[in-house]
Amino acid sequence: MRAQENVGSADVLAGRERYVARGIATPALVVARAEGARIWDVEGREYLDFAGGIGCVNLGHRYPTVVEAIHAQVDRYLHQCFMVGNYEPYVQLCERLAGLSPCKGSEQKSILLNSGAEAIENAVKIARAATGRGAVVVFERGFHGRTLLTLSMTEKTTYKAGFGPFAPEVYRVPAPYPYRGVSSNDAIAALERLFKAEVDPRSVACAVLEPVQGEGGFIPMPPEYPGRLQDLLDAHGILFVADEVQSGVGRTGRMWAVEHYGLEPDLLVAGKSLGGGLPLASVTGRAELMDAPSPGGLGGTFGGNPVACAAALATLDALEEVLPDMPALGHRIRGRLELIAPSGSDVRGLGPMLAIELAEQTPDRASAIVTAARERGLVLLTCGLYGNVIRLHVPLTISDDDLEAGLQLLEDAIAH
Ligand code: PLP
């Protein structure tokens, strides 16, 4: 490969083919620069970005106050390891997360990690330590990460093939999916049956739910379901873990998607956009749960890196300013999707976390639309068990003109 300033897409793609493991699937896009709602490839071609690195830059690329905070922290120190010495950005961010926490209890604490999967693993560890129980309940189409425990909790053979045996004591039940005929009643009945038939609820530590399923197809839980689930879990002393790695940090127009449901989970897991583009994730909950593991029981070399914490503090500040405009943004995108969605498909989501599920349960048409969009200058992603859902991670800071241009490109790609 040539030096970066002379490089062309073909060089990078050839290098990728030769040196990078094929298990990571990537389209042919080669990024040179990104700003706000835009990406430029190495040939200088401009794209609108409705993927946001899979939901990791909810404010758009290189949000100015986030970049400033990163620069300021880079000039102080890069890495300490919180197991070697305390540092202020880590403590400040945990204080901030406590203030923003929707979880039960007055005194909130957090731990910071590197990735969503690592944070989910830690949430399960904390739930097990706090309850003295081992089993974990998860939901159909859930995605919680690619480490052994989280992959065991995740559903889709594309991610799982060849990687077993998986972790024991993970039980999966249906989640509501109105478009495909699964109601809240069905989902609650399935959980009640699980507790009768397969696992004693007294041995279940936690249930882990995405309030809006992300990789599984951008499926918001019906309004009444999370509350009903919580009542059932509470009755058995089972902790409710909200996986807000994809739905959190403003994606649904509130800081946390559970706020739309008036729900108070026991633990909340955040990731992706929390670090404003840097790797960072968190687990937050009431002190008595968070302090269940003994000193030394939790940790990690890089978790809560100071630069990522500084970026997160700036991200949360900026989001609080942006969030009041989000109902209007969500409304506008939804209205347009309803006009352009192919007949029989489902337009759904919560706030600006929106998607179109195509009626046919094969990936072909959705991936053709995503490819056609990219050829026209719009970066998009699919999701869903069958890969037939087109999801939008529109930057929450997008201008009206850019939004209109992006949605027009999507319309053209669908028409094509
Ligand atoms: N949980 C949810 C809901 C996710 O969407 C993801 C990633 O897409 C994860 C967990 C895992 O996060 P990471 O890829 O940072 O490990």
Q: Over its length of 416 residues, how does the chain's per-residue pLDDT go in tens digits?
A: 555 566 789 999 999 999 999 999 999 999 999 999 999 999 999 999 999 999 999 999 999 999 999 999 999 999 999 999 999 999 999 999 999 999 999 999 999 999 999 999 999 999 999 999 999 999 999 999 999 999 999 999 999 999 999 999 999 999 999 999 999 999 999 999 999 999 999 999 999 999 999 999 999 999 999 999 999 999 999 999 999 999 999 999 999 999 999 999 999 999 999 999 999 999 999 999 999 999 999 999 999 999 999 999 999 999 999 999 999 999 999 999 999 999 999 999 999 999 999 999 999 999 999 999 999 999 999 999 999 999 999 999 999 999 999 999 999 999 98
Q: Are 266 and 216 in contact (CB under 8 A)?
A: no
Write the CA distances from 311 to 65, 68, 218, 262, 328, integer angstroms.
8, 9, 27, 28, 26
CB 308 within 8 A of CB 277: no
Atom of ligand 1 at shortest distance to CA of 114? 15
Is 119's C-beta closer than 6 angstroms to any atom of ligand 1?
no
Residue 388's identity, in one-letter code, is: N
Residue 256: both structure tokens together: 């946390």
CA distances, 400 to each of 18, 396, 406 (Å): 41, 11, 10
Taking the C-alpha atoms of residue 219 and residue 228, their distance in angstroms, rounded to an integer, is: 17
Superfamily of domain 9-62+326-415: Aspartate Aminotransferase, domain 1 (3.90.1150.10)
DSSP reduced 3-state for 270:
strand
Res 1: pLDDT: 52
Q: Which atom of ligand 1 is nearest to the CA of 142?
A: 3
Q: How far apart are CA 211 and CA 230, in angstroms?
A: 12
For residue 249, the CA-to-ligand 1 centroid distance in Å is 13
Decide: 145 in ligand 1 pocket, CB within 6 A: yes
204, 236 in Cβ contact below 8 A?
A: yes
CA 75 → CA 69, 71, 86, 130, 375, distances in Å?
10, 6, 18, 39, 40
Report CA dihedral (109, 111, 115, 120) to the nearest 10 degrees: -70
Ligand 1 centre distance from Cα of residue 283 (Å): 13
Pairing of strands 170-173, 135-139: parallel
Answer yes or no: same fold for 9-62+326-415 and 68-322: no
Interval between CA 75 and ligand 1 midpoint (Å): 30
129 CA distance to ligand 1 middle (Å): 23
- Closest residue by CA, ligand 1 atom 12: 116
Bridge-based pairing of strands 219-220 and 281-286 is unpaired
Ligand 1 atom at shortest distance from the alpha carbon of 244? 3
Question: DSSP class of residue 201?
Answer: G
3-state secondary structure of 317: helix
CA–CA distance, 219 with 207 (Å, rounded to integer): 18
Q: CA torsion, points 32, 35, 36, 38, in degrees to nearest 10?
A: -40
Rounded CA separation 164/148 (Å):
8
Classify the phi-psi angles of 281: left when phi > 0, otherwise alpha if psi is within -120 to 50, otherwise beta.
beta
CA distance 60 to 42: 20
CA distances from 33 to 40, 230, 311 (A): 5, 44, 19
**What is the atom index within ligand 1 of the atom nearest the CA of 54?**
8
Q: The whole model's pTM is what?
A: 0.98
Domain residues of the chain, as ranges? 9-62+326-415, 68-322
Which architecture does CATH list for 68-322? 3-Layer(aba) Sandwich (3.40)
* DSSP-derived 3-state class of residue 219: strand
The response to whether residue 215 sits with its C-beta less than 6 Å from ligand 1 reads yes
Report d(CA 194, CA 34) in Å as an integer: 47
| Residue of 139, 147, 151, 246 best suited for mutating to test ligand 1, as the one with most atoms within 8 Å of CB | 246
Indicate which residue's Cα is closest to atom 5 of ligand 1: 246
Specify the DSSP element, H or E, that contains 220. Answer: strand 219-220
Distance CA 164, CA 154 (A): 12
Q: Is 271 in the pocket of ligand 1 (CB under 6 A)?
A: yes
